[in-house]
Amino acid sequence: MLKVLIVDDHDVVSQGISRVLQDVKGVEVVGVVHSGEEAIIQSKLLLPDIILMDVHMPGIGGLGATKEIKRILPKTKIIALSALDDNLYPVKLLEAGASGYLTKGTNTSELLEAIQMVSKGEHYISKSIAQKMALSKFSIDGQGSPLGQLSDRELQVAQMIVDCKKSNEIAEHLCVSPKTVSTYRTRIFTKLNIESDVELIHLAVRYNVLGMG
């Protein structure tokens, strides 16, 4: 019996996945949580075989949670879930130790296929994403997009700037101070050689790598 933990800050998504898996033989949903921090805590308690991890969540997010869980539970397999089918996030999640990456638009059969392959120690990338990565010859170090040079936290901040979030909203979402958000914004602009939020949005649209999901 494969023990699966679902991590997603949207109830509709997490409950939908849970209902699908409840009818699958050999799979047991041992928990549903809504943040990266909760995922770390419950992973220690429940010891799941597989975690379905939302990428974009408050706090440390799916990327930070994946890194920490793989550090403390290296045998636990993680499949990342995102509303985006960009190149950058799959690369970062695979680097962090994820075994799979699916878009939230994936159908049930592909989700189950990913779970089975990952449980056997293989990797699985959603077909639409794999095709994009192949066509763009995207390398594992994130080259090909200037946003690849941002740190995990900078990428989170950039994501929310693109979503037109104010500094205090970003601070609350990431559990940091507004001053820290300002520092991240400065670093982002410097690394990307831009001077405004508008320029950042243009980059995000061009490379299709940012957005909530």
Please state, in angstroms and rounded to a whole number, the distance separating the CA atoms of residues 10 and 33: 10
The 10s digit of each residue's pLDDT in 39-52 is: 999 999 999 999 99
Between 86 and 126, name the one with better pLDDT: 126
Percent of the chain with pLDDT over 70: 89
Closest C-alpha to 129, from 95, 188, 85, 166: 85
Kindly report the pTM of this predicted structure: 0.73
DSSP reduced 3-state for 77: strand
pLDDT exceeds cutoff 60 at 212: no
> What domains are defined for the chain?
2-135 (3.40.50.2300), 146-207 (1.10.10.10)
The 10s digit of each residue's pLDDT in 50-61 is: 999 999 887 888
Mean pLDDT of 10-21: 92
Kindly report the average pLDDT of the chain as a whole number: 86
Which residues, 6+ apart, have CB-to-CB distance to 134 below 8 Å? none
